[in-house]
Amino acid sequence: MESTNAEEIKLRHVETDVLIPKMMREKAKVLCVEKVEAFSHCCKESGFFMVFKCREQNAALKECLTVHYKDPAFFEECKREYIQEKLEFERTGIPTKSRKQKLPTSM
**Mean pLDDT by 10-residue block, N- to C-terminus, for the chain (107 residues)?**
58 94 96 96 90 94 96 96 92 74 48
**3-state SS record for the chain:** CCCCCHHHCCCCHHHHHHHHHHHHHHHHHHHCHHHHHHHHHHHHHHHHHHHHHCHHHHHHHHHHHHHHHCCHHHHHHHHHHHHHHHHHHHHHCCCHHHHHHCCCCCC
Domain that holds residue 88: 12-101
Which pLDDT score is estimated for 107?
A: 43
**What CA–CA distance (Å, rounded) separates 25 from 20?**
9
pLDDT at res. 98: 62
Q: What is the pLDDT of residue 44?
A: 93
Q: How many domains does the chain divide into?
A: 1
State the pLDDT at residue 34.
97
* Distance from C-alpha of 31 to C-alpha of 36, rounded to nearest angstrom: 9
pLDDT of residue 50: 87
Decide if 3 is inside a domain.
no
pTM: 0.73
| Residue 5 placed within a domain | no
H/E element holding 49? Answer: none
Assigned domain for 7 exists: no
